[in-house]
Structures are given as structure tokens and as C-alpha cells.
Amino acid sequence: VEIKELNEVFQRFDSDVSGEIESIELLSMLRYLGFSTSLEVVHGMVKVVDANQSGGLDFQEYLRLMRAHRELELEDVQAVFSSHAGIHKTVPLTQLPTALADFGWNLDKATVNETLARFDFPEKLSFDDFFEASQACRRLFAASRRRMAGFGVVEVQFFEGLFDAVGGEGVRKIEWAAFEHLLSILGTKIHNLNQRKELFEILECARAKGRAVGVEDEFLGKHGDQSSISFLVAVHLIRELGQRCERACIEREVEAMEATKYSHADVSGFREVFYNMLEHGKPMPGGDEPRQGPSPKSKRPSLATIPAAARSSVQGNLRSSQYARKAKEALNRSLHSAAEGIRARLSGPLGGPTLSFTDLCELLRCLGLRPTPAQRAQLSEVVAQLTADGLGNKKFRPLGSEPTNEAVVDFAAFLRTMHWMSKVDFAHVNQVTARILNGK
């Protein structure tokens, strides 16, 4: 039964019927199943289980990934069960809702009780009984995530705070002009009629996505109505904007791979270097320590840049939680994700994580390269041209983004830069490239 269910999910998200799930398809699948994740995390998952190094997951590789996740899930359920089980290794039925709350799914208590009432559980639950109850609630959680376009609990609270900031406290429908202001807070600014027309088209797509996951007609609004937008449609619209940016990132990377002739294994090695630099200011273990880490332009925005109403809305909800430490950690991750994963992805010049030219030079320094001033100037010209090429292609540019004179390097441009450097053996880079591609 489990294999059959997994196969149905695989077929559902193998949208191009290639027999493999690509990174963007795996991302959609995980969000459908209720997991809050990112394209960067998915790339890491693919790297771990992609035995044939095709860049995607065939069905057997997909099964390995899902079984590994299943084992981790069992460990989580076992930990919660053990914390509530008595000396007889059972959980009293009366304590079941409290125990299930430990998973942090933030489900409506009445809905949970209604779901659990369908089962004929004994007064004392064994581990198997408890696992069955947890899976029922897990499915409820996944459905609630789909209703909120796959955003996490704290991310939704963040958006509620934004809605309060632009529309008034407790408002769940705002005028269209107020919503455009909300998007501008996230960095997506509508500059002309063509962009507004495109946004209206995305609005109808968001309504269709919402209808497919059970959003009621009263919140969807009428087709073609552009006077206002409900909270539920707004989160689906923001998700759709983000997914378009993610797809554009994948398309740029595919074009870069084809142009550079790098293999999927090569790209995986370069990706690790790129994201290590982005996150930690250090491209790989064993390299030189960074002077100051990534420049502010490539770091995640400070919480101070997030509207106060959004911050206080989330923090107020967390203060009453008995799991304050975990909740605050989730807040930090989710607010950073909302600030970077939405603001940067929706409005960044290339719609994805980027390094500045200063970061790129620091990356080279950490790898042991010492370019001369003339070489650095030459590199600056190359990066500026790659940036201009990326920004000049409108199909790759996020809605509402504006060209910039600042040279920035997304992962696709990083691949092209490394390829150019390799061709000319820039500052003896080929020795370092060999080390990266050999995983050393």
C-alpha cells in the first residue's frame, strides 16, 4: 500500500513524464506533503540520493529519499510517545491531544478531536495506536499547509502581520492598492500597466490554486475582480510569484550547464561552494577563514527591516508557547525565510540568492587565490557582463524588479564565471577547481 501511495505521488509531480522528479518538481511535492522547504534544501536532498548523478530522482532514488524521511519521522514519533508514555509504555487516551501538540502542527483542537473520534482507540494507546493518530493529524497538517500555499505556521503569522500593517488589525480582505503596497514591502514594486496586467493574470492563477485546495468561494472572489484580495488568495499569489522565480532560477542554471558543459556532479560541487559562501562566508572546509563573512548585500536582511506589525504579531503568539525556545528558533528561521526567501526571490535583480562582486573576491581569497589588481579589474568586467546578460533577459527577471548597475552573481552566473576563469586559468584557478570537483 505504501509503495502504491508513493508511486501515485511520484506520478502526480513528474509533470513532464520523464520518469524522474527534477528539483523544482520535488520542491512542489514536498510542499504538497506539508513540508516547509526551499530550492537550496531540495538541491541538497537530490545530491544525497542521486546515485546516477542525473540531477533528478528516478523512482528508486525517490523511494530511498522517502524511506529515509520515514525513518526520521518514526524517530520523532517515538520521542514524543516516550515523553508521554507511562511505565506500561502506553499513552492515556485523555492525554493524546496534549501529546500530539508536541509536534508543533498548530492544528485547530476541534478539528483534531473530530478526526480522532473516527478511530476506535482504546483507553491506553500503544505505540502503533499513537503512530496511527499522529499520521491522521499529519495529514490534517498537510491539508492546512496546502490551504496556506505551503507556507509554515510562523510564515503565515508573518503574513497576517503584514496584512494588519496595510489593512488594519484583523482584516482578512484588503483593497488592491493596499495589496500592491504589501508587495512593495516585500520588494515587488509594480511600475507600469504591463506589470499590473501580469500580476492580474497571476491573481487568477492564485484563485485557481486556492480553489484546488479547498479555499471557499467567499474568499476566492469572482473571476476578474481586481478591486480587492482576501488573505488566502494573497498567500497563494505570493507563492506563485516565488515559484516563478524558482523556475527561472532552474532555467538559468540549465542554460549555464549547457553552455559550460559541466556535469551534474560538477554543478553539485560548485553549488556547495556557492551556498557555503552565501551562508557561512566560507566556501569549503579547510579554506582560509573569511575576513568578515559575506557582505551585507548577500546576507539575510536584519529583522529590523521587517515591519513592526508583522514582528509583534508573530512574537506575541510565541510568548505564550510552552515551547518558547523552539518557537523562537522557528521564528528566526521563518522570518529570515520570509525576508530573504520572499523579498529577495520576488524582487532581487535575478530572483534568487546572489553574491556581490566583493563576496566573489572573498570567495577566491578563501580558496587561496590571489589575483593581481589587473586580474581583479578583468574579473569585474566579466561579472558585470554576466549580470547585464541575466537582467537583460526578461523571462528570467522577477516581476517588479528593476535593472541595477551593481554586479551580482547568482548560481548560474557563478557557473559561467568559474568556466571563464578555468578557460583562461585565472590566477591559477584550475588547481582549485580540481579540488572542488574532487570533493576535497
pLDDT of residue 131: 93
Q: What is the mean pLDDT of the chain?
A: 81
Which of these, 237, 239, 236, 234, lies nearest to 161 by C-alpha position?
Answer: 234
Which of these, 374, 408, 376, lies nearest to 391 by C-alpha position?
Answer: 408
pLDDT at 336 over 60: no
The radius of gyration of the chain's CA atoms, rounded to the nearest angstrom, is 24
Report the pLDDT averaged over residues 276-294: 62
> Per-residue pLDDT tens for 58-100?
999 999 998 888 888 899 999 999 999 978 899 999 999 889 9
Q: Which residue has better confidence, 431 or 295?
A: 431
CB distance 328 to 224 below 8 Å = no
Q: How far apart are CA 341 and CA 350, in angstroms?
A: 13
| Lookup: cell for 183 | 508587495
Q: How far apart are CA 351 and CA 342, in angstroms?
A: 9
Q: How far apart are CA 412 and CA 42, in angstroms?
A: 17
Q: How far apart are CA 351 and CA 249, in angstroms?
A: 7
Give the least confident one: 258-262, 359-363, 396-400.
Answer: 396-400
Residue 353: pLDDT band by 50, 70, 90 thresholds? Answer: confident
pLDDT at 397 over 70: no
Largest Cα–Cα distance of the chain, in whole Å?
77
pLDDT at 363 over 50: yes
CB distance 219 to 233 below 8 Å = yes
CB distance 313 to 158 below 8 Å = yes
pLDDT at 225 over 80: yes
Of 94-108, 282-296, 387-401, which one has max mean pLDDT? Answer: 94-108
pLDDT at 343 over 60: no
* Residues contacting 252, CB < 8 A, separation 6+: 350, 390, 396, 410, 412
pLDDT at 324 over 50: no
CB distance 40 to 261 below 8 Å = no
Q: How far apart are CA 361 and CA 371, in angstroms?
A: 9
355-370: string of b/e by CB count within 10 Å (b at 16+)? Answer: bbbebbbbbbbbbebe
Q: How far apart are CA 329 and CA 332, in angstroms?
A: 5
* Residues contacting 125, CB < 8 A, separation 6+: 90, 91, 92, 93, 96, 133
For 70, the 3-state DSSP assignment is helix
Which of these, 247, 254, 243, lies nearest to 415 by C-alpha position?
Answer: 254
The cell 467567499 sits on which residue?
A: 218
**Paired strand residues for 247:** none
Report the pLDDT averaged over residues 203-209: 96
pLDDT cut 70: percent of the chain above it = 79
For 234, the 3-state DSSP assignment is helix
| Lookup: cell for 87 | 511505565
Which of these, 292, 197, 231, 385, lies nearest to 221 by C-alpha position?
Answer: 231
Q: Where are the alpha helices (DSSP H) in 85-192?
A: 96-101, 109-116, 127-147, 153-167, 176-185
pLDDT cut 90: percent of the chain above it = 36
Q: Which residue has better confidence, 169 or 208?
A: 208
Q: How far apart are CA 18 and CA 58, in angstroms?
A: 9
Question: Can you give the pTM of this predicted structure?
Answer: 0.79
Q: Where are the alpha helices (DSSP H) in 367-428?
A: 373-392, 411-424
pLDDT of residue 233: 97
DSSP state of 303: G
> Per-residue pLDDT tens for 132-166?
999 999 899 999 999 999 987 777 888 888 898 89
- Give the CA dihedral 346, 350, 355, 358, nearest 10 degrees: -120
pLDDT of residue 301: 32
Burial of 215 (C-beta count, 10 Å sphere; 0-12/13-18/19+): buried
The full length of the chain comes to 440
Return the amino acid letter for 119. Answer: F
pLDDT of residue 398: 61
